[in-house]
Each structure stands twice: as structure tokens, then as C-alpha cells.
Structure 1
């Protein structure tokens, strides 16, 4: 059996499937590559003007290398597996890249959860309901090493190179606000002085009884100079956004200008690549560690977590150094880069909407747009939504934001309304972010008390995909990827019923016409967007249409995506 088939079978079994996914086609080219030759002429615009970002919780996506599933001795809990590692890894992302999964969706950037080393064991999750491992990448232990559950340096390099060969950028999720908790397993291995004997027998109910919270040996962990932690010898967290302990996590003192030495536990950690940096404060270490991934592997951008809890100067410094690091990597790897675009950064500032803010002056090219998800009532009739967003993003205002319909930190959008939601999102002005499984109707997982967001991070539903919905997403995504006008064009409503609009981008000359909800054949005016006699291509059905008497005559269908036909002038 070939290697790719073995990997697919292992992943299918890990995900609970009774049969492996379909075998790769005999044609060595992915389906998207075979279709590219007949596609209409594309005017995609720059990535900065038309970002289409796919966010994947790597561990919950696809298991490409089952041999790393139990790294550091991590185990399943034998119950609902809410907070355990499921097996998805960098090799799995590479397998899906080679299959064309992301390219067929029109994606031009892949945002992955932080792959650097996380705390090794588990902490109490929810209301003492589940063992919470750091599968999501938000409990950092060592920023200088890959987490072994994610894979090897060679696997990371292959994943990045494979993405770049398809014109897909790679974005790392990064955290400068906090490292992870001190879990029992990490403490046993790196800080045994703070434990009561027998901690390996701890349960969800008695977990905290095995840690001596009055022990000043905690100072050999990150230490007072590095974090606020509310432990003996540490500074307590403050009450403002910048100094608080978010979710009781240790809070990095990124605002401090005082030089620090490596924490004691990192000095004793035999595999770390961290070294003392003379005259460097906490922020400088974090910037150095994070930009190393850019300089070494060609990472194209960061999604910054918990932006409101770190001072803007820190983010600006991270951006400056990352820009230098990526330019250095591209100079050394000219055949592996996508283009000469600078490093790109998007931030998560809770509650940010579709507007420009001071954060766009602090190193961020975009912010996550929390508002779009809340406008679900408008998705079926989106004119007011599109008008509002086009007023913000049309032309070249020098910034964008990423709208989404589902998130790992909020909720999954109504699984019964994903058709309208996909249409609304992928035709919206501005930048967009697809959350893994929205394209396949991935069902929510268990929702534990005290941590309902865990339900949004269920395993990818490879064996129960809604294939009709997937095809809908793919058609919309491919269309969007070809047309910067959707993201940056002037929005013109052409008629209300059946609903039709055009987007025209003056800078590039790109133009498209979209019609929705055609319950019967209809004539739709082109409003001067396309010329009399011009041949148009419907990207949704593949049909050709000709402009006659200032209109196109369309059959009954739910979605029409009109662009200039191949060879048309």
C-alpha cells in the first residue's frame, strides 16, 4: 500500500471513520490544477487587498503522521476527548495541501494554531469536566522548539514549501500575552520542588492538592522578572487589560524595559534553543523567539492572540522585526518565495468590527472582525450589509479586516444556515476568514460547563461531509480568488428582486456581477458594468451568457457569478 494511502487510513481510523477517505485520483495533478487552464482571466489583486484566510486547529484537522500522536506521554482520556490531542499535525496539512483542499476553496493563506512546544500534560478544564491539554497552542512552554505532536522541523519545512508552491501563505498563531500554566507533568519533569508526592495519580477532582502553592520554588519557573503570577515571590496581576492575568494565566511583563536572564527552568531544559540575550527585556526575547520561525522557515505572517492585553509598542516591534526576518528569508530562498510582499499581521482584539482603528498603526495589516458573525439575520438578504462594508473597504484605504461566520473563541454558525452564510461571507467586501469545517458542515462537539468554546473545536468531519455545501464553498471561493473587485470594488445594487449587484474596482479594471435567488428565469440589467454584446461566464454553472439590450437573460438558479468569459475582450 502506498504511503499516502496508509496515512489516509490511519487518519480515518483516528477520526472514527469506518472507511478511509477516497483515494487520490490517478492523474498526479490535483483537480484544481487540471481546471486552471480553462479558467477565466483572473484579476485577484494583491494578498493585502484580497486575503482569503483558512483557519485550522491543526490537531483537529488531519492526522498525517500517527507516530507522533502520544508525544511527551500524552494520552487520551477514554471519555469524550474534549481537551485531548486528537492527532492532527503538520504532515496532515501537507497531505491536504497536496490533495488541493485549500486551493480548491480559493484560499491564499493558511492560519495554523501555534506549533511551538506547549505544556506537556493537562490542566483542569471547564467545571472539572475534562483534562485540558494544549492542543490549541495557547499554553506555550518553549517558543524555540516545535511541539512534537505537531511534527518535525522537516515536516514544517515541507508544509510551508508546499503551500508556497501553490501561492498560499502560512500564518502562525502567536501569543505574547502569556505562556501556559504550570501543569503537573511539566512540573514533575522541570520543577519537581513545587509538587506533593504522587502527582501522577491526580484526577480532575483533586488536581490542585498535588501542587504546593506556598512554595517559593515557583521562582525557578518563569520567575518574577518575566511574569505576573499571583504565586509566592511573584507580582500579582493587575486589574487593567494590560496587566491582568487572563484566565489566571501567568502574564508576561512585556511592558518592562528591564533586562532579564533566561528563566531557571529553561536553563535546565536540555533540548531548548533559548539562550541568554544580553541587555534584553522580556519583550525582546519573545520577539526574537517568534521571528526565528519567520527567518528559518519563511512564515509569511502572524495572527496575534489577545491583542488588547499587550501594549501596542510590543506589537509594532514584533512587526518590524518580522518584516526584516521575512525579507532575509526571501533573499536566501528566492525560488521558494511567493512574491516580495512584506510580512503580514492580523490581530484578535475582542469586539473589533469593520473599521480602521489605532491598531492598524501598531503593526497590524488587519484585525479580526467580530461584527460580521453577529449579522447572521442579514445573510439571506445582504444588501444593507454589503453597502455598509463597501463604504469601509472600497478602493484602497490601506487596511482591511477579516470577517468570519464561525470562530474557535465564539461559536459555530448555525449548521442549518451555512449555505446562506457561505454566500454572504464569500461575496462580502473586505477580507474573509474561513473556519475549518464550515465548508463541510462539521458538527459541534461536546460543550462542557465552564468552557463552551470547546464545542467549536471538534474533529474535522472527513467521513460525514456535506458534499453539496462543499461544492458551493468551492465555487464561491474560486470566484473570489480571481476577483479583487469583490473585496475592494465599488458596490452597486442593480435590482432588488431577483437581487443583483455589481462590484467594480477602478484601480484594476476588474468587475463582476452577482445575482441571487432566481426562482424563475429573469432578465438582469448589467448597469453599464459589461458592454453590449460582451460574452460572460457564470462561474457557478460554467454557462456562457451574452449581454443583449443592456441585460443578461438568466435561468432559474440560486446563485449566478458573472465574469468576463475566457478569451472575451
Structure 2
């Protein structure tokens, strides 16, 4: 059999043709989906990692050689190993070799400084046939990282910091509104912010950057069919493997990634799998790889019914993953980006709009190429869904009915999560159930936030790392939602959704910032890998796109007093999450949930490691009696300190305690 993916199906009872549930690859043949097996070039030798281990500043690995079908035997002198680190490559010698027929090559590296490393190994047989490279990716760091440890900071690169004005572009022809054009932010600006330590102060462990492949030079119609907008956001790629020069090009990307890794920060690339721009090289050369049908959301082109074949705009051809050559090319491109620029994972755009083969083959390939040494590459997805009010289902406050009412929402998001699918997704259900309804609008109480948090934790697949959030580049800024909450005629909720005219202004009181602060306290206290959208750390205002994509303000002196207070609070919350293991890895247990008060524990099994989060939605100081669950095993007489600087929590007999919070206050208690 020739190398490549070969399609097959399981046949049950002679007539029932089924997909193989144990197979991680898929392939379409004649428009029909099949399971697929990956057949390598069997004439080549193969290298497999038998073991690998990081210990302190050392790394050791044992790599076994297997002959190809021609059985030419190993050329022991042909083994080549290169250690990649911070943009440099150094040759590595084999420490020792054992065995004859299938020899094992042992590697031992010592005195390694903290950071990310990739040991790339190849070997030849005696006929000169060279194996595919084996990549052993590992990190040297004080505490082993898990993706649930991450606070993910999203950066829209063009709107972040302009670190190199020499790559700024002229105004885009036809784009008359500056809000819809390039602003000059670049990868050098991101590097400078990383080096400044600003993200460290926030407790950031990963950054997600909007797509950085080259986008077109012209303007195109926005969804209102009136305004011309540019591709400053990155979601209209025209090149498969080129970093946009307006963002600084390849050198700037490499330098930024190196800086991030030196700070222990992982880098996620936003990967556009659903579409390209009509100027993309693939569309120009292989139109048969794409669909150019109806526009999503127009008459006769329902977003759900045509989710796989509709186009987002007439100038955005839809990738047809039933064409095997197209499906393989987009996987190959993802592997190239990850390898070439030492990235740590992907945020996969518009997941529900592509065939399952796109996600499954991407995941299987990433796992095969990069995870031989156990370092997980994070694949997070965007499957945009909503939340259905259980009242619409007649649930009458029944818990199971409420969850069942949203079953289709949960199931759609969950179907793409698994060992050889995505690691997790953005929790759209939780977003539409809680942040603006509870913390901005007061439509629901904090007990509602507690219920839907637990619903997410119990409903998504076990082991998934979900990403809760209170704002993104696709939503109005939270502080703006909290400003225009319908409290009077001048603050109609609809203003936050305006794009071009009658747009939202800055908050006119401190209350939106206070609401934003407790929303962040809730978010950063949750399980998963929460998202912090750039600017939300200080309460950047703005309505719908493009208002939610204003330039990041890098100078703390330029912040308003309320913004500076919120920034300091966010830094405390982020530092707490990074420092307190229970906030990242603990369970979730409700202590007390009412309309305006919520306390929950993040238990670790050991009461000395448990953390407790408390939040008040009251506009005045509050004092609330609680009883800690016996399951926490926190003994009477225990004293817990508030990481946020409030009074200690004294635990009495039977787990009784009194939590005192300031107006719009929050606390994070940990045992002294």
C-alpha cells in the first residue's frame, strides 16, 4: 500500500456499514465519510520514544529504532539529534546505544535552563533510508504545567501595541472608517509587553493571538453591506504559510514566541479552518477544494441547516473537507506552523462549520507529531452556541429539566471534544447563561451562576478543559454591558450592540467597573482555563465590533482612576490563580448561593490546600453567616487568610464562619 490515508468501514451483518469508533482518522471517498488508517512509508526506518523524563534541569530519553520492511539494519553512525531552544539549534550526541536488532539510543541532557525544548532525532538504515523526524517536546520549569493551570490572554495583534512603526501600512483603499482599518499593532509590540512583565503580573500562562497569516490589502463589505473593512483581524488569509508583514513577519513571530517561552507562557495560534479569502493562493489554484454557495443567515441558507456549506461572506470561499487533498493540506499547514514557529497549540475557528474529518485528522496529526514525550499541545475550539431559558421549556425550576432544555447546546459543543479531538472549547452556554445576565443586568442571581457552573462541570466530557469567559472579540465589552443595562432611558441595553452609529460611550459611574471586578473574581475562581480578553484587565469599554476592538492602552498612567483600581484588582486575582493550586486544579463545591452572595470551595482533598472564593453583588458592605461543608474537613479553630487583603476567616464549631465583604467585594481564602 502506498503511504497515506486509506479509507475503510466496518460491515455488520453484511449490510450495515459503520465507522470504526476506535479509529482516530477519517477520509471521504466519493463524498462518503469513512474511517481511515494512516499507512506510513514502510520502507523507512521508524523511531519511537520508549521513555522520556524531565527531572530538575535534566532530560533523559530512550528511543528505539525499528527497521523498514527491507530489513537493511540500523546505521548506528547515522543518528542525528538537534536540540531546539529559544530559536537556536544545538547538536546532541547519543549518550549510549543498547541492543542489536532494534537498537535503543539513549540521550541525557543536563544543566538546562528553564523553558521549552524540542529534541529532534533522525536515523538511517544501512541503505541510507532516513526515518521521519521524532520530536521530543518538553519543558524545564519548577512545577509541571497542565492546561487547566492556564489563564489565557487573548490578543488581537493589530490592536495591541505598535512595537515597530516601520511595518505600519498605509490606509487601506476604500476603508474610510479608521475603526475598520489596520492600527499598527504588531508582534514586536506583543514581545515588548511580554518582556515588560505586564502579563506575568496578571498571572497569564498562555496567550491566544488572532490569526497572523497574511491578509488582503483591500477593503471588503462588512455584514451591514455598507462599510468597507480591512483584514486587520487576520481572519481572511490569502497565504497559507506566510506571516503578515504588517505584523512584523517571521522574525517578529519567532522573537515573540521566544520571549513568551522565557516567561513560561504558552503561545496559541488562531487557526482558520472553515474558509479562506477569495485571494488565497489555494482558491486561485484549486477552486475544486472550495464551496462558494449561499451566504450563512440569508434567505434559504439557515446557519444550522447549511452549517457545512454556507459561506460567511461572498468573498470567503468555504473549505470542502470532503475533498481529500484539501483536508490533508490544511492539516499539513497546521503542523508546519506549529513546528516552524515552536507554537504550543491552536485555537480552532468555527468548528461546527467544518466536517468532523477536519477536527479529527488535525488532532490525530498534532498528537502524533508533537506529543511523543508527553507534552500536551492544546487544541481549543470555537463552537458558537447559546443558552435557552428553562422557562421556555416549562421547567419550573427543575434542575434536570433546565439542563435537558440546553441539551442540544451542550451536545453540539461536546461532540468535538475527546482524546483525539479537541481538548476543550469556549463555554458558550455558560457565557450566555451567566456573565451579563447575572453580573451586568441583575436578571438572575448568584445562585443562578452557581447552578450553571455546576451544569457545565457535570455535562461536558470528563477530562475536558473548558474555557469560561466574560468577553471576547465577538461580544460587546463587559464593562459596556454593565453600563447599558437598561437602568434608564439613556442606558438602553441595545446601545451596547450598536456597531457604527450611536455607539456606546465610556461608563459614567464607577458601578460598571465594580460589576466587572466581581465578574472577574467569579471567572478566575472557576475550573478550566479561563479567558481574559485584552483590555478587560482594566475595563476597556466598547460595544459590538469594531467598538470592542479598540487599541490596548499600554501606559498605566493613561488609565482612568476606576480603570487603575480595576487593573490592580485583576492583577491580584490573576496572581492568586497562578499561586494557589486549588484555584487551578481543585474541585468545585457550593458553600452558599443566594441572589447577591456566592461562596464556593475549590477542594484539593487536603484541607490545608483548599481555597474558598466569596463574592458579593451588593452595593453596600455585607456580613454573611455560612457553614462550611463537612466534606472540606476544615477543622474548627482554623484561620483562613484573604488573598485579596480582607479580614481573616475564622472557622467555628461545625464549620460555621462569617464572611464580611465590602460593597461589590470578593475574597479568596486560603489556610494560614
| Matched residue, 1:519 | 621
What is the deviation of 1:282? 1.1
Residue 168 of structure 2: aligned partner: 69
Q: Could you tell me how far apart the structure 2 residues matched to 1:150 and 1:424 are?
A: 34
Q: Would the alpha carbon gap of residues 66 and 289 (structure 1) be closer, same or farther in structure 2, given more than 3 Å must change? A: same
- Which of 464, 477, 483 lines up with 1:412 in the alignment? 477
Whole-Å Cα distance in 2 between the matches of residues 472 and 250 of structure 1? Answer: 44
- Does 2:397 align with 1:368? no
Change (3 A) 1:228 1:556: closer
User: Residues of 2 paired with 1:396 and 1:532: CA distance?
Assistant: 37
Q: TM-score, normalised by structure 1?
A: 0.70
Matched with 2:530 is 432
Asked if 2 retains the 8 angstrom alpha-carbon contact of 1:52 and 1:434, the reply is yes
Please state if 1:341 is matched with 2:375. Answer: yes
Tell me, in whole angstroms, the C-alpha distance in 2 between the residues paired with 1:433 and 1:440.
Answer: 14
2:310 corresponds in structure 1 to: 244
Residues in 1 aligned to 2:520 and 2:188: alpha-carbon distance in whole angstroms: 28
**Could you say which residue in structure 2 is the equivalent of 1:283?**
327
- CA distance, structure 1, for counterparts of residue 646 and residue 194 of structure 2: 25
Change (3 A) 1:244 1:82: same
Give the aligned partner of residue 339 of structure 2: 295
Matches for 1:178-189 after TM superposition, within 5 Å: 178-182=275-279
Q: 1:433 to 1:556 in 2, by over 3 A?
A: closer
CA drift at 1:503: 2.4
Render the CA deviation track for 1:232-276: whole Å, top value 9, x for unaligned: xxxxx997221222222111222212xxxxxxxxxxxxxxxxxxx
Aligned residue-pair number: 443
CA contact (8 A) 1:354 1:369 kept: no
- State the shift of 1:382 in Å: 2.2
What is the 5 A alignment of 1:217-228?
Answer: 221-228=284-291
Asked if the contact 1:373/1:405 (under 8 Å) is kept, the reply is yes
Is 1:390–1:429's contact at 8 Å kept on the other side of the alignment? no
The alignment status of 1:161 with 2:161, answered yes or no, reads: no
Q: How far apart are the structure 2 equivalents of 1:291 and 1:59? A: 25
- Structure 2: how far apart are the matches of 1:225 and 1:79? 35
1:122 maps onto 2:219 in alignment: yes
SS of structure 2 residue aligned to 1:346:
strand
Measured at CA, do residues 228 and 439 of structure 1 come closer, stay the same or move farther in structure 2, by a change above 3 Å?
Answer: same
- Alpha-carbon distance change, 351 to 126 in structure 1, aligned in 2, over 3 angstroms: closer
Contact 1:513 1:561 in 2 (8 A): yes
Tell me which of 533, 538, 556 is aligned to 2:642.
538
Deviations for 1:413-434, whole angstroms, at most 9, x for unmatched residues? 2252322322232223433211
SS in 2 for 1:117: coil
User: Per the alignment, do residues 220 and 97 of structure 1 end up closer, same or farther by CA in structure 2, a change over 3 Å counting?
Assistant: closer
Distance 1:159 1:357 in 2: 33
CA contact (8 A) 2:518 2:615 kept: no
Shift of 1:84: 0.8
Whether 1:403 and 2:468 are equivalent positions in the alignment is: yes
Distance 2:588 2:469 in 1: 21
Q: 1:247 to 1:378 in 2, by over 3 A?
A: same
For residue 141 of structure 1, give the secondary structure of its aligned residue in structure 2: coil
Select between 535-544 and 463-472 the one with higher mean Cα deviation: 535-544
Q: Secondary structure at the match of 1:146?
A: coil
Pairwise mapping of residues 105-120 of structure 1 onto structure 2 (< 5 A)? 105-120=202-217
Question: Can you list the C-alpha shifts for 1:508-560, whole angstroms capped at 9, x where unaligned?
Answer: 98411223338256665444533344443211017655545445566553222
The answer on whether the counterparts of 2:174 and 2:218 sit within 8 Å (CA) in structure 1 is no
For residue 147 of structure 1, report the CA deviation from its aligned partner: 0.5
SS in 1 for 2:574: helix
Q: CA offsets per residue over residues 361-397 of structure 1, 9 Å max, x none?
A: 3611111122233222223742332233235427992
What SS does the aligned partner of 1:351 have? Answer: coil
Does the residue aligned with 2:242 lie in a helix, a strand or coil? strand
The unaligned stretches of length 5 or more in structure 1 are: 1-42, 191-218, 232-236, 258-280, 332-339, 446-451
TM-score by length of 2: 0.60
1:220 and 1:128, CA in 2 relative to 1: closer, same or farther beyond 3 A?
closer
Choose from 368, 377, 380 the match for 2:437.
Answer: 377
Report the alpha carbon displacement of residue 90 of structure 1 after superposing the two structures with TM: 0.9
CA-based RMSD of the aligned residues comes to 3.3
Residue 393 of structure 1, aligned match among 428, 443, 457? 457
User: Aligned partners of 1:495 and 1:141: how far apart in 2?
Assistant: 50
CA deviation vs aligned residue, 1:301-333 (integer Å, no higher than 9, x gap): 1111111111111111112222334348xx7xx
Change (3 A) 1:548 1:366: same
Among 544, 549, 553, the alignment partner of 1:457 is 549
Deviation at 1:178, TM superposition (A): 1.0
Instruction: For residues 111-167 of structure 1, give each alpha carbon's deviation from its aligned partner in whole angstroms, at most 9, with x where no partner exists.
Output: 101111112322233545443111111110112111111113232122112222222
CA distance in 2, matches of 1:222, 1:119: 17
Change (3 A) 1:551 1:94: farther
Q: Which structure shows the higher strand fraction?
A: 2
Q: Which has the higher contact order (CA 8 A, sep 6+)?
A: 1
Which of the residues 576, 582, 603 maps onto 1:504? 603
For residues 388 and 314 of structure 1, the distance between their equivalents in structure 2, rounded to whole angstroms, comes to 30
**Which runs of 5 or more residues in structure 2 are unaligned?**
1-141, 295-300, 387-408, 483-511
Q: Cα–Cα, structure 1 residues 78 and 116, in superposed 2: closer, same or farther, change >3 Å?
A: closer
**How far apart in 1 are the matches of 2:253 and 2:290?**
30
Work out the CA distance in 1 between the residues paired with 2:260 and 2:345: 13
Assess if the C-alpha contact under 8 Å between 2:206 and 2:265 holds in 1.
yes
